[in-house]
């Protein structure tokens, strides 16, 4: 099968920040895990670019590119230094060039909620940035985390100075840096880390100024649990994510943590969870699919951190769900490359079916069955799928089995 035809080949499309979201045919690979910094990462990925492209991924989310106090990249210090535990600036740029050649967009992990200081300032805290690029003083740090700035416009990320985005000089500097990543370094997409930490209005401003082709925010807070486990109704959870998307001026998508939380319970024999009271998908995907980035695990929930892991024996059912449904699916590196060739190939097959049946982020879903051991749905006009160990197949002669695996099957017309 050929590579995905990227609609952004024409140079006049390079600044169309709404185009990717409008098209709705993205499939993202999270191209690292929590341990990647130990494995010469930019070089490792360089060798995988042809396979990533051939598999049908349109964008690969890379770990934070800047120098950081912690090797994983999430305690950034000198934003303009691209020598990190993942490799040198030279290797990163060569990887980005190769991705461009294979038409896979590179997504930068944007960590701007907090920044580790270099020198002690007000109150004896490390809240100054002397001696590196963007040499801010204590006014760049929120008052709630030991700086002389204003109060945070979101939740605190504890233990490090949090950036005060209300300061004009801070926003001006960050926009300069984001434009540099976008226009000089060669990243095309952005992922906003810890988006709960600062107001979404700033994300809107940053996207508008730097013009990434696609953006997604990590707005992660807890689902609603009761004494017996996860509540059936997660409307308040998905509404908070939707409010965040709205506040970015609808310019950013968001990770669908609601769908993840529900799906990982549903696959344990509670498939009734996959239909909300209106008969729609119960996550962000059911309300605003064009802005919902669906996923099973990431470097926090899975990998060696395993804060909230998807049940490992059910990952293919999980992928059979998100890769046949609306929203923007994101596949985790570990599942794709570290869990064996069978899982890799089953995921590739599902991505291929998604493309051939023209399933996109806004495709319609008609839920046919949602009970303990069976979920079945028709997606778009020409795809039907089931999950669970109950036997089921679609009625009508024109359905053909497209693929099947452990507890899942997909048909097409």
Could you list the active site residues?
Answer: 193, 218
Pairing of strands 225-226, 214-217: unpaired
Question: What Cα–Cα distance (Å) separates residue 87 from each residue in 64, 66, 84, 193?
Answer: 11, 10, 5, 21
**Residues counted in the chain:** 413
Question: Could you tell me if 238 and 283 are in contact, meaning their C-beta atoms sit under 8 angstroms apart?
Answer: yes
Question: What Cα–Cα distance (Å) separates residue 204 from each residue in 191, 201, 326?
Answer: 13, 5, 24
Question: Could you tell me if 296 and 322 are in contact, meaning their C-beta atoms sit under 8 angstroms apart?
Answer: yes
Alpha-carbon distance 231 to 346, whole Å? Answer: 31
Would you call 13 helix, strand, or coil by DSSP? helix
Alpha-carbon distance 67 to 79, whole Å? Answer: 6
Task: Tell me which residue of 272, 284, 270 sits closest to 234, measured CA to CA.
Answer: 284
| Neighbour-count burial of 56, counting CB atoms closer than 10 A to its CB (0-12 exposed, 13-18 middle, 19+ buried) | buried
Question: Could you tell me if 359 and 383 are in contact, meaning their C-beta atoms sit under 8 angstroms apart?
Answer: yes
Alpha-helical regions (H) of 333-379: 333, 341-356
Alpha-carbon distance 313 to 315, whole Å? Answer: 6
Q: Greatest CA separation found in the chain?
A: 75
**Residue 226, C-beta contacts closer than 8 angstroms, at least 6 positions apart:** none
């Amino acid at each position: 099968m050929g590579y995905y035809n990227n609609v952004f080949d024409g140079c006049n499309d390079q600044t169309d920040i709404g185009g990717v979201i409008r098209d709705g045919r993205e499939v993202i690979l999270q191209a690292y895990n929590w341990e990647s910094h130990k494995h010469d990462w930019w070089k490792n990925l360089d060798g995988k670019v042809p396979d990533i492209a051939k598999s049908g991924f349109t964008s690969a989310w890379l770990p934070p590119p800047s120098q950081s106090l912690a090797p994983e990249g999430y305690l950034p210090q000198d934003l303009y230094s691209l020598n990190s535990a993942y490799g040198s600036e030279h290797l990163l740029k060569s990887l980005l060039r190769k991705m461009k050649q294979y038409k896979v967009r590179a997504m930068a992990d944007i960590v701007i909620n907090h920044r580790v200081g270099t020198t002690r300032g007000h109150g004896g805290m490390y809240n100054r940035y002397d001696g590196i690029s963007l040499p801010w003083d204590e006014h760049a740090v929120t008052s709630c985390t030991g700086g002389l700035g204003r109060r945070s416009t979101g939740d605190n990320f504890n233990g490090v100075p949090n950036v005060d985005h209300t300061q004009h000089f801070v926003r001006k500097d960050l926009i300069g840096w984001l434009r540099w990543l976008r226009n000089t370094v060669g990243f095309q997409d952005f992922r906003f880390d810890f988006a709960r930490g600062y107001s979404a209005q700033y994300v809107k401003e940053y996207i508008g100024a730097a013009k990434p082709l696609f953006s997604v925010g990590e707005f992660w807070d807890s689902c609603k649990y009761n004494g017996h486990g996860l509540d059936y109704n997660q409307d308040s959870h998905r509404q908070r994510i939707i409010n965040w998307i709205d506040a970015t001026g609808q310019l950013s998508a968001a990770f669908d943590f609601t769908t993840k939380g529900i799906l990982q319970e549903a696959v344990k024999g509670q498939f009734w969870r996959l239909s909300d009271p209106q008969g729609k998908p119960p996550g962000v995907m059911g309300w605003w699919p064009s802005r919902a980035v669906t996923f099973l695990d990431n470097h926090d929930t899975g990998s060696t951190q395993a804060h909230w892991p998807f049940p490992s024996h059910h990952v293919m059912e999980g992928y059979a769900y998100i890769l046949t449904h609306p929203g923007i699916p994101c596949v985790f590196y570990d599942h794709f490359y570290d869990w064996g060739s069978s899982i890799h190939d089953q995921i590739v097959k599902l991505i291929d079916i998604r493309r051939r049946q023209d399933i996109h982020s806004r495709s319609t879903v008609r839920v046919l069955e949602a009970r303990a051991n069976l979920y079945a749905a028709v997606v778009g006009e020409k795809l039907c799928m089931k999950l669970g160990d109950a036997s089921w197949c679609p009625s009508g002669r024109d359905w053909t089995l497209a693929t099947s695996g452990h507890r899942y099957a997909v048909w097409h017309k």
